[in-house]
Amino acid sequence: MNLTLKVWRQKNATAPGRFEAYEAKDVLPEMSFLEMLDVVNEELIERDEEPIAFDSDCREGICGACSLVINGIPHGGRKGTTVCQLHLRHFKEGDTITIEPWRAAAFPVVRDLVVDRSAFDRIVQAGGFVSVSTGGVPDANAIPIPKADAEHAMDAAQCIGCGACVAACKNASAMLFVAAKVSHLGLLPQGKVEKDRRVMKLVEAMDAEGFGNCTVTGSCEAVCPKEISLRFIARLNRDYAVAMLKGGTA
């Protein structure tokens, strides 16, 4: 199959960007989207042209590095699918595909389709780690955890920090990401001791990084490749309100 790509090209963070057209010729429907970009880049290199810069790592839907907006939708709009898991069989012969980087002030463009998402790393670092002295490490099944709490914690822990929620939000809010990070620790016994301090620290860090406010449009949940639920934002708001009422400080 043959496709036309309109790709955002930007030399560096300060240079002006523009869309450029490329042809993806004789690509196979079985190829992933990133494999198709690899083929296009090989052709560009053969012609002594600058290849398209884009992020990738695991290519198994785990790392969250494949941060592309495809036809206006982060990760391409397939439910529960990252770009590296998106296959060309979902496109038609002759399609024109527009490919952009995440668009958010907190995720500045580094080059072409690559953005700096280190703001997420700084938010996580602000939350710290579970520092309570627990003595010797108990067996995994020695700490009783209600099944519902364990399942909800695992649902939140699925977040891969890709940033699609930010890219889809009209306010560039990071609430779904922060809510997932707060919830997956706060729901478990080991993390509850420092829950108030953690939620205050994470929200403070999120605001300091310049992410927008959440207006609960649901666009974040719609594009999340791990289908993180909006209910975690509700939990974050409750946890934050409780911490404030307790007079908690970050």
The residue ranking higher by pLDDT, 35 or 137, is: 35
Residue 168, CA atoms < 13 Å, CB-side half-sphere: 24
pLDDT tens digits for range 51-77: 999 999 999 999 999 999 999 999 999
Cα–Cα dist 214/62, whole Å: 26
Asked if residue 46 has pLDDT above 90, the reply is yes
Alpha-carbon distances of 40 from 12, 53, 225, rounded to whole Å: 21, 11, 25
pLDDT the model gives residue 1: 95
* 136 pLDDT higher than 80: no
Distance CA 228, CA 77 (A): 15
Strand 69-70 to 96-100 pairing: antiparallel
Q: Which of 229, 221, 224 is nearest to 81 (CA)?
A: 224
- 34 pLDDT band (50/70/90 cuts)? very high
Dihedrals phi, psi of 50, to nearest 5 degrees: -70, 125
- In this structure, what are the phi and psi dihedrals at residue 107, rounded to the nearest 5 degrees? -120, 75
Task: Report yes or no: 190 and 134 within 8 Å, Cβ to Cβ.
Answer: yes
Cβ-proximal residues to 213 (8 Å cutoff; 6+ apart), any chain:
171, 173
CB 67 within 8 A of CB 8: no
Amino acid at position 187, single letter: L
> Is the pLDDT reported for residue 174 higher than 70?
yes
Please write the tens of the pLDDT for every residue from 183-207: 998 998 888 888 999 999 999 999 9
What's at 35, amino acid-wise? E
Write the pLDDT tens digit of every residue in 82-131: 999 999 999 999 999 999 999 999 999 999 999 999 999 999 999 877 66
171 has a pLDDT exceeding 70: yes
Chain center to CA of 116:
12
- Smallest CA-to-CA distance from 104 within 174, 175, 54, 159 is with 174
Task: Read off φ and ψ for residue 9, nearest 5 degrees.
Answer: -115, 130
Residue 223 has pLDDT above 90, yes or no: yes
Give the pLDDT confidence score for residue 192 in this predicted structure: 86
| pLDDT, greater one: 140 or 97 | 97
Residue 190: predicted pLDDT = 81
How far apart are the two ends of the chain, measured CA to CA in Å?
Answer: 55
What domains does the chain contain, in order, with CATH numbers?
3-111 (3.10.20.30), 118-245 (1.10.1060.10)
DSSP letter at 242 equals H
